[in-house]
Amino acid sequence: MFKGRGKVSMGAFAAAVALSAAGAAGLWASHALAQPGVVAGPFTEAQAQAGQAVFTGRCASCHEAGGETVRLISSGFTDVWRARTTRDLYTRIKTTMPFGNPGSLSEAETASVVAYILKGNGAAAGATAFTPATDVSINTIIAARRDAYAGYVSLSGMPAATGITFPGTVAKYTPVTEEMLLNPPAADWLMHYQNYAGWSHSPLKQINTKNVQNLQLRWVWSLDDGERQQITPLVHDGVMFVSTAINNKVQALNAATGDLIWENSLGPRLENQVNATARAMALYGNQLFYPASDATIYALDARTGKVNWKFKISNYGRDKVGGMMIADGKLIAGLGVCDEASLQDRCFIAAYDVKDGHQLWKTYTVAYTGEPGGNSWGKMTNAERSGADAWIAGTYDPKLRLIYFGTGQAKAGQNGIGDKLFSNATIALDVDTGKLKWYHQTAPDEGLDLDEVYEKILVDNGSQKLLLSAGKPGILWKYDRTNGQFLDYVPMVFQNVFTSINRKTGRGTYRADILKPEPGNSRPSCPAQSGGHNWPAASYVPEDDVIIYPLMQICVTSRGDMIGNFEAPASDGYLGRLSAYRVKDLKPVWTLQQRAPFLTSSMTTAGGVGFIGDWDRTFRAFDVKTGKTLWTTRLGTTAQGFPTTFTVDGEQFVAVPTGYNGGSPQIRPSSMFAFERNRPLVGHAVYVFALPKAQ
């Protein structure tokens, strides 16, 4: 975050040292930020110390991993909690934590964890012990930490610049039309998944199974480190568009050479770990749409980077722009991280006019009382209902005029309430009105974080119009996308959450002890929250009718001191799996496993070659028919994001992003790899490969 380069003011240096120390040494180091004169917090030193032990045993496996993330010590915490009270924080932890076994912390344990977190964020211990009734405004006791962050300056010692920080103009740029999005030019990668059907597949075949072993690095472009780096390098007319979530910087590069054409530093810059991830930008007309981390959608002139318009889709808390796409000339976006218990924080999918950003329609993904599905939340008040984030970009069938999105888990995650519609579901919306056409929920009424939000892949099999989807349970579901009828499924990894799945309805039956925990017994969940499948998207190879899924084989359990992540049974220590299934009948075609999980999407081409990258810095090409590895290279740090391929002047290139930060698919293996494998905690970049010039 604060790399040594150039002059740095003493104030900034002091802040940097303090913050680096906090990151390196864990929560305790941050108490150095507390300043004399700060009002003593409503907890004792002994409570904070006891809280450290509880946090380590019961919380750290999710909230801290490998010494590289301190997720509760940042503006990610203070932004959300400074306007609330210590009693709110206590209640939140007591009723929702730890994962998988909420309510199992005693009052004293919960109070100590509150004390630990408050102290970590700069509050000073006092003489009064924290109790469940303690009700103090958090902002009054952690102000010192906010002050420390307020002194941020750029690495050059000057205040971080915003706006156009590198002016330039794309020499030749053709406006992106709906027709181009309906039939994407092979030379370009115009949208998140390459086409509306979500295939992550290119018709290019210059790089093929016979010559892919000759791939060479053509250029690399470093991106600003920090935050989750899971971008999709979009390419149009020989221009590549990339972004960095840490500071909301958008850049246009010459896709053949890696030269910078223009740069717009939109800001704001964020401290670490606030769930900002700009996976999917979108192109339409002469505009590039960017989902900023402060829930603002920017429409930039793709030729110059200048802002045409911007629109903040939510003003609440830490909300983010989730999945974003163009469909039928509209900008469609889901709201993400909308998981607070508040009437102001209600997840939705909405359509916006590309001309000025005005809202065309909005559909909420959380059903309130009196609405369709409203009875599925039991006795929860509307304010208590949250989650069902649409944080992954959707797909689109222009003939049916339906867009397909997924939704995440309901918050707070508890069993025994009701189905909690429309969480953990695949949903189809009318592109003209946003009206819900159908939904299918794969994990109703769950408390294990079983997102079904991921890519919805559309395939026609004869007259059948299919939709393929896989969520965290790692089960591949097949539907009729005209009406949502469940057709078939196949488990792609070991799961022990469901004991049966109704073959007519697709509804699963949870293991009995998930709904009613057995006292004293473990409560394992396979897969863990990292998911059997997560955001690294599958690709569909139409030439072979094969769908290829990046998968992960990690479980999590909770029982006293036995909480944490572990290798799934029969995984033989292989956390990563890549599996191909024939769409027609879901027949297994091939699979391969390895120690490191895959952390890029699968990207395939008509040349019969697929590409995928992993945690351990390997980027590989594989034969889509057999899974056989055809070529590998090692990158600077974890390959993470969405590889793309494109041509410039007839020459095919392959791009892959790298980034070391991320959510549970990155955090959990990082925790399990500690003391086993290493990768640099710097190195966000995009690497571009091509065949030697002579070929």
Partner 1 sequence: MVILRIVSRAIAAAIFFAAAPAFAADNYQTDIGPTPKNGRQGANVQGRGTVLATLDNNKFSLQGKFSGLSSPATEARLHVGNVMGGTGPAIGGLKIPQAQSGEISGTFTLTRDQIAALKLGKLYVMLDSQSAPKGNLWGWFQPEHVTVPPGVPQMDHWYIPNILEDESNDPAKKRNS
Of the pair 119, 595, the CB lying nearest partner 1 is at 595
The 3-state DSSP class for residue 329 equals coil
Of the pair 110, 618, the CB lying nearest partner 1 is at 618
From residue 62, alpha-carbon distances to 226, 299, 565, 673 in Å are: 19, 36, 9, 15
Q: Give the closest residue to 51 by CA, choosing from 70, 80, 27.
A: 27
Q: Which positions lie near partner 1, rule CB under 8 A?
A: 56, 60-61, 64-68, 490-496, 498-503, 511, 513, 518, 521-524, 526, 555-557, 559, 561-574, 586-595, 626-629, 670-672, 674-676
Minimum distance of partner 1 from residue 561's CB (angstroms):
6
Of the pair 414, 593, the CB lying nearest partner 1 is at 593
Minimum distance of partner 1 from residue 526's CB (angstroms):
5
Q: Which amino acid is at 86?
A: T
Of the pair 343, 674, the CB lying nearest partner 1 is at 674
Minimum distance of partner 1 from residue 622's CB (angstroms):
8
Q: Which residue has the tokens 């606030």?
A: 274
Of the pair 306, 625, the CB lying nearest partner 1 is at 625
Token couple for 627: 């899974």
Token couple for 159: 């205040």
Q: Give the closest residue to 279 by CA, choosing from 331, 224, 240, 242.
A: 242
Supply φ then ψ for residue 561, to 5 degrees.
-85, 5
From residue 521, alpha-carbon distances to 105, 327, 563, 570 in Å are: 16, 49, 12, 22
Please count the other Cβ atoms lying within 10 Å of the Cβ belonging to residue 383.
Answer: 14
Minimum distance of partner 1 from residue 61's CB (angstroms):
4
Of the pair 564, 683, the CB lying nearest partner 1 is at 564
Query: 331: which strand partners?
Result: 326, 352
What sign has the CA pseudo-torsion 176, 180, 184, 187? Answer: negative
Opening angle at CA 41, ends 123 and 15, nearest 5: 15
Of the pair 83, 674, the CB lying nearest partner 1 is at 674
Token couple for 72: 């509760």
- Counted residue by residue, the chain has a size of 695
Parallel/antiparallel/unpaired status of strands 124-126 and 40-44 = parallel
Minimum distance of partner 1 from residue 590's CB (angstroms):
5
Q: What is the DSSP letter of 447?
A: S
Of the pair 197, 578, the CB lying nearest partner 1 is at 578
Minimum distance of partner 1 from residue 65's CB (angstroms):
5
Of the pair 316, 574, the CB lying nearest partner 1 is at 574
Contact 633, 217 (CB under 8 A): yes
Query: 97: which strand partners?
Result: none
Of the pair 649, 676, the CB lying nearest partner 1 is at 676
Minimum distance of partner 1 from residue 625's CB (angstroms):
10
Element containing residue 89 per DSSP (H, E): helix 86-96
| Cα separation, 660 vs 680, whole angstroms | 8
Minimum distance of partner 1 from residue 550's CB (angstroms):
14
| Cα separation, 252 vs 95, whole angstroms | 46
Minimum distance of partner 1 from residue 589's CB (angstroms):
7
Of the pair 386, 637, the CB lying nearest partner 1 is at 637
Minimum distance of partner 1 from residue 604's CB (angstroms):
15
Minimum distance of partner 1 from residue 531's CB (angstroms):
15
Of the pair 286, 496, the CB lying nearest partner 1 is at 496
Q: Which residue has the tokens 């009729």?
A: 480
Q: Which residues of 10-23 are buried (b: 16+ CB within 10 A; e: fewer)?
A: eebbebbebbeebb
Query: HSE on the CB side for 333, CA within 13 Å?
Result: 31
Of the pair 12, 681, the CB lying nearest partner 1 is at 681
Minimum distance of partner 1 from residue 5's CB (angstroms):
28
The 3-state DSSP class for residue 149 equals helix
Minimum distance of partner 1 from residue 165's CB (angstroms):
36
Q: Write the CB contacts of 677 (distance below 8 Å, at least 6 apart in sequence).
A: 595, 596, 615, 616
